[in-house]
């Protein structure tokens, strides 16, 4: 088999229990629409019954015609059976049309609910999840895998139900017409079921491997597009092409593996079906020649056999589509089942507008894999106080402020705001008090005004303008002919890094937070713009508690207090001048940046 994936390996990885759970969960999205499902079932039964009646009515027309020819009766004796035959065909057509409409509608409603749940989940997943999960693989789950489920719920499920009922109705019709011929037809069923089961053992794992390979390719593409400037700057394009070629080849081989299994399955069933139908026709012919059954019965049964094996083949081919949907469903449900990590407790309360007192009591923290990042942090920040957090790279500064925003929970100790443990308040009310400006500002596709309004959608144009002026962004905004309605492009790509940073400041200012977190927020602006921001911050920080992470020590001279973090612990704290005089860690950092 291409790609080096053996049948034995695929069989070992088959998980029937998981498949059953996945099917149950997928069908769970259909259950809220019981009324429409019941309606579709009525149409399915009507369609199947009418279809199953057609061969018997056809045989009846033939027998009546033969009898009329022998006895010289008027052709009018054919009117009633012919009308019944036409009526059954029309009923079958109309019922199929209605079931397609109803089931298709239910499928789309179920898919809508699934997509909504997936989007709700990705909004709740912790920051740690996105730090370890590739965006390309995530997008593959949200697009490719959900599309396979869409195909199943919108089309395959209806065909699956229709074929199953058609099979039951046809079998019932065969038994009513002639038991001997019905039993002869059923001889092929065990062979077909065994073939289908063997296929199922290998198919789902192959389809899951295909979906994962698509995710790997998507992840690589997303990363390369995001880092194209770096790749070209370091002349890595040739090597990147080689690495992508390897992933693309793995994707090709996974698709070939799935295609090899699928392509072998349907023709094999077709051969079994055709051979069985021929044997049934031959046996029926012998019975007719012996005068045991009429010619009409043989014709009816030949049509029944074709219907029967067509339904079995349809069910078996749909089994392949179902395996693909199950593979996609497993990956989507893996995402939905990801632990939220940071979740509101049962008794979480709305904290309301806070005064801004922040306390760290014996706080320790370590990531899931790695050493302890913070060690026994005890720190109190008073309402309205501006505290700068400094230290070498990796000292734990960003981790400290991330605990305030509750992007993570401490491994030990308590982080509280206004005396409330942050784990005992709703994350929405906590973060509603926060304004955050990061070192790498993120802007959303849209206009400048929309991005500034992001944290306060109802703000007036005057409020937006005032925030832009306070952040020092008004000058460059007004230079653009479109002004505040200028499009920023994807991730703010049409703006410089400094301009994106100014808009991030304006966004935080407009949100009017009680707690303001600045994480290296002035590192991407020039000295002149930094002075503008510093002037603005003197007004903005009044009455707000602020945590400022800074490497450029010149930006924190006016902080009320400076806390120095070293190896995850507080090494010293005090005012700018006090720490310079103490000749400790801060003084050493200062000397390194401002050598005499």
* Model confidence at 8: pLDDT above 50: no
Q: What is the pLDDT of residue 172?
A: 80
- The encoded tokens of residue 220 equal 């690589």
Average pLDDT over residues 568-583: 88
Give the pLDDT of residue 6.
39
| Calpha distance 309→314 (Å, rounded) | 8
pLDDT of residue 7: 36
Distance CA 210, CA 227 (A): 26
- Residue 12, pLDDT > 70, answer no
Cα–Cα distance for residue pair 529/522, rounded to 1 Å = 9
**366 to 396, 410, 411, 560: CA distances (angstroms):** 10, 8, 7, 29
Q: Which of 477, 543, 480 lies closest to 513, judged by CA?
A: 543
Quote the pLDDT of residue 463: 92
60 contacts 296 by C-beta, under 8 angstroms: yes
* Mean pLDDT value across residues 262-288: 74
Structure token digits, residue 573 = 């704290």
> What is the pLDDT, as a whole number, of residue 2?
39
* Contact by Cβ (8 Å): 441, 501: yes
Backbone dihedral region for residue 4 (phi beyond 0: left; psi -120 to 50: alpha; all else: beta): left
**H or E element, residue 562:** strand 561-566
pLDDT band at 465, cuts 50/70/90?
Answer: very high
Find the helix or strand (DSSP H, E) in which 576 lies: helix 576-582
Mean pLDDT computed over 453-464: 88
Q: Which two tokens stand for residue 414?
A: 């308590």
For the cut 50, the answer to whether the pLDDT of residue 68 exceeds it is yes
Please give the helix or strand (H or E) that residue 256 lies within, else none: helix 237-289
Per-residue pLDDT tens digits for 346-386: 888 999 888 889 999 999 998 876 788 898 899 999 998 99
Query: What contacts 24+ positions apart, CB below 8 Å, involve 365-373?
Result: 365/396, 365/399, 365/403, 365/408, 365/410, 365/411, 366/411, 367/128, 368/128, 372/411, 372/568, 373/399, 373/568
Look at residue 483 and tell me whether its pLDDT is greater than 80.
Answer: yes
What number of CA atoms fall less than 13 Å from residue 266's CA on the CB side?
A: 13
Per-residue pLDDT tens digits for 513-560: 889 888 876 666 667 767 766 766 776 777 789 898 887 777 788 888
Of 198, 184, 197, which is closest to residue 309 (Cα–Cα)? 184
Reference 242, options 233, 229, 231, 253; nearest CA is: 231
Confidence of residue 199 (pLDDT cuts 50, 70, 90): confident
What does the alpha-carbon distance between residue 76 and residue 74 come to, in Å, rounded to a whole number? 5
**Bigger pLDDT: 172 vs 6:** 172
Structure tokens at 544: 């707000």
pLDDT tens, 381-437?
Answer: 999 899 999 888 888 888 898 899 888 888 899 999 999 999 999 988 988 888 888
Contact 361, 413 (CB under 8 A): yes
Band of the pLDDT at 462, cuts 50, 70, 90?
Answer: very high
Q: Tell me the C-alpha distance between 142 and 147, whole Å.
A: 8
- For residues 325 and 22, give the distance between their C-alpha atoms in angstroms, rounded to a whole number: 9
Mean predicted lDDT score pLDDT of the chain: 78
pLDDT score at 227: 66
Q: What percent of the chain has pLDDT over 70?
A: 85
Q: Look at phi and psi of residue 72 and say left if phi exceeds 0, alpha if psi is from -120 to 50, else beta.
A: left
127-174, pLDDT tens digit by residue? 777 777 766 677 777 777 888 888 777 777 777 777 777 778 778 877
Quick check: 469 pLDDT over 90? no
């Amino acid at each position: 088999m291409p790609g080096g994936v053996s049948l034995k390996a695929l069989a070992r990885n088959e998980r029937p229990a998981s498949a059953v759970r996945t099917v149950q969960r997928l069908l769970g999205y259909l259950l809220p629409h019981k009324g429409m499902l019941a309606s579709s079932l009525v149409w399915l039964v009507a369609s199947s019954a009418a279809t199953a009646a057609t061969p018997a009515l056809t045989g009846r027309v033939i027998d009546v015609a033969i009898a009329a020819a022998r006895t010289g009766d008027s052709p009018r004796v054919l009117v009633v059976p012919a009308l019944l035959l036409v009526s059954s065909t029309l009923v079958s057509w109309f019922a199929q049309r209605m079931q397609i409409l109803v089931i298709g509608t239910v499928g789309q409603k179920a898919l809508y609910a699934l997509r909504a749940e997936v989007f709700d989940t990705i909004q709740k997943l912790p920051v740690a999840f996105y730090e370890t999960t590739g965006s390309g693989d995530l997008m593959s789950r949200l697009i490719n895998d959900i599309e396979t489920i869409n195909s199943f719920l919108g089309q395959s499920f209806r065909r699956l139900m229709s074929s199953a009922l058609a099979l039951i109705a046809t079998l019932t019709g065969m038994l009513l017409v002639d038991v001997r011929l019905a039993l002869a037809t059923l001889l092929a069923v065990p062979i077909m079921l065994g073939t289908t089961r063997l296929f199922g053992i290998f198919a789902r794992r192959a389809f899951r491997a295909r979906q994962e390979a698509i995710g790997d390719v998507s992840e690589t593409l997303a990363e390369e597009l995001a880092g194209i400037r770096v790749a070209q700057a370091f002349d890595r394009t040739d090597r990147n092409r080689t690495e992508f070629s390897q992933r693309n080849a793995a994707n090709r081989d996974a698709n070939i593996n799935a295609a090899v299994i699928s392509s072998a399955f349907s023709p094999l069933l077709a051969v079994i079906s055709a051979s069985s139908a021929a044997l049934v026709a031959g046996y029926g012919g012998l019975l007719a020649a012996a005068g045991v059954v009429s010619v009409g019965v043989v014709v009816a049964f030949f049509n029944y056999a074709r219907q029967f094996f067509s339904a079995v083949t349809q069910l078996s081919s749909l089994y392949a589509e179902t395996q693909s949907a199950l593979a996609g469903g497993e990956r989507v449900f893996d995402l939905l089942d990801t632990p939220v990590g940071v979740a509101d407790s049962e008794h979480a309360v709305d904290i309301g507008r806070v005064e801004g007192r922040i306390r760290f009591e014996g706080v320790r923290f370590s990531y899931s894999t790695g050493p302890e990042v913070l060690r026994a942090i005890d720190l109190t920040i008073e309402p309205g106080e501006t505290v700068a957090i400094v230290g070498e790279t990796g000292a734990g500064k960003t981790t400290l402020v991330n605990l305030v925003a509750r992007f993570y929970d401490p491994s030990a100790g308590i982080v509280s705001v206004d005396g409330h443990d942050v784990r005992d308040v709703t994350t929405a009310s906590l973060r509603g008090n926060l304004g955050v400006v990061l070192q790498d500002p993120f802007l959303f596709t849209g206009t400048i005004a929309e991005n500034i309004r992001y944290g306060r959608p109802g703000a007036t144009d005057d409020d937006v303008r005032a925030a832009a002026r306070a952040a020092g962004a008004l000058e460059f905004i007004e230079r653009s002919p479109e002004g505040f309605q200028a499009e920023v492009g994807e991730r703010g790509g049409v703006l410089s890094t400094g301009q994106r940073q100014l808009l991030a400041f304006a966004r935080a200012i407009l949100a009017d937070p009680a707690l303001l977190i600045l994480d290296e927020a002035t590192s991407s602006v020039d000295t002149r713009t930094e002075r503008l921001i510093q002037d603005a911050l003197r007004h903005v920080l009044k009455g707000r508690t602020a945590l400022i992470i800074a490497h450029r020590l010149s930006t924190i001279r006016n902080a009320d207090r400076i806390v120095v973090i070293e190896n995850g612990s507080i090494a010293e704290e005090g005012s700018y001048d006090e720490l310079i005089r103490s000749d400790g860690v801060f003084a050493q950092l200062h000397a390194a940046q401002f050598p005499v």
